[in-house]
Amino acid sequence: MSDSPIATAVARIAHAAAELPILRWLAEPIYRYQFLRFRRPGNACFGVFGTYAEAHALAKSLHGPATYDLAEAGRLYRERLERVVASDYPSIYWLSRLLAAGERRIFDLGGHIGISYYGFSRYIEYPADLQWLVHDLPAIADAGRSHAVLHDPKRRLAFSAGPDAADGCDILFTSGALQYLDYTLPDLLRRLQQRPSHILVNLVPMHPDRSFFTLQNIRIAICPYRVAAVPEFIAGMESMGYDLIDHWQSRERNLRVPFRHGYEVDSYHGFYFANATRPGSRTTEEPQRVTSGVLATSMASISS
């Protein structure tokens, strides 16, 4: 969830105070009551679960929608159509290099109505033959098609009904979406006959050593929310034949699950993986493995 530094500090103090033994027995039931009835601020979290199914079962038993597949969801994030945030810059950097190297087919997993397609266009000169294909939930994809009629005159943006449309793409790109899926990225890759040469992942919550699910209240719905362990995620991608080229962290976002000590997420992560074994794949001139650490370091390399 995204907050100002002051708001984040205040929230952490409040959470810490509420978890003191003398206060927790009062605070936890109140928090649960408000969370389940959509009375908490957006992006609040509740509970820790071992599987997506466990989290989803509780979400479905609550007072509101347990899915993002809503017309209202298609109206979210419209401010991102015309601007980017700091955490977008590593993705912009790598996409611009890959497009310059000749890659043309981008599959945007969970790309909403084309948020990144529109937002990045201010910083990347798209080639005339670019194909940007988005997969998202039906209600959101419908909103994206309607928006594109007036805002994508060059018709480079399209929408797919399923994630298997990633088969044969040059670049699989995903930003802020993996945490909502009921499958993992390696699960999807196993289903593809021709896997992408490049995979760009951005804005995913990750824990140093724990994988778990929580519930996230996004105001319009309560949905399962995946947090992956960094080593497990990287190992899963390497098992699919991908090399880690870059890894960055964004301090813009963090995640707290109240009353669950040890499950804090202090930053969201991004990665660039390359599969040089795919026939016809194009590579950049970057070293085999670069880890840029926190986002400030990665951004410094972009501006130099």
Digits of tens for pLDDT over the chain (304 positions)? 444 555 455 455 555 655 666 566 566 777 777 777 665 555 789 999 999 999 999 998 877 788 877 778 777 777 777 889 999 999 999 999 999 999 999 999 999 999 999 999 999 999 999 999 999 999 999 999 999 999 999 999 999 999 999 999 999 999 999 999 999 999 999 999 999 999 999 999 999 999 999 999 888 889 999 999 999 999 999 999 999 999 999 998 999 998 888 999 999 999 999 996 766 556 554 544 444 555 544 443 343 3
Find the helix packing angle between 5-18 and 21-36, rounded to 10°: 120
DSSP-derived secondary structure for the chain = -B--HHHHHHHHHHHHHHTSHHHHHHHHHHHHHHHHTT-SPTTEEEEEESSHHHHHHHHHTSSS---S-SGGGGGTTGGGGS---GGGHHHHHHHHHHHHTT--EEEEET-TTTHHHHHHTTTS---TT-EEEEE--HHHHHHHHHHHHHH-TT--EEEESSGGGGTT-SEEEEES-GGG-SS-HHHHHHT-SS--SEEEEEEEEEESS--EEEEEE-SS-EEEEEEEEHHHHHHHHHHTTPEEEEEEEETTB-B--TT-TT--B--EEEEEEE-TTSTT----SS-S----EEHHHHHHHHH-
Render pLDDT for 68-125 as a digit per residue (tens, 0 to 9). 777 787 777 777 778 899 999 999 999 999 999 999 999 999 999 999 999 999 999 9
Going from the N-terminus, what domains does the chain have, and what CATH number goes with each?
Answer: 45-303 (3.40.50.150)
Per residue in 90-106, pLDDT (tens digit) is: 999 999 999 999 999 99
CB-neighbour burial class of residue 268 (10 A; exposed 0-12, middle 13-18, buried 19+): buried
Whole-number pLDDT of residue 299 = 42
Please report how many Cα atoms fall inside a 13 Å half-sphere around the Cα of residue 218, on the Cβ side.
20
Angle subtended by helix axes 295-303 and 89-100, to nearest 10: 40
What does the block give as tokens for 80? 């991102």
Would you say 115 and 78 are in contact if contact means Cβ atoms under 8 Å apart?
Answer: no
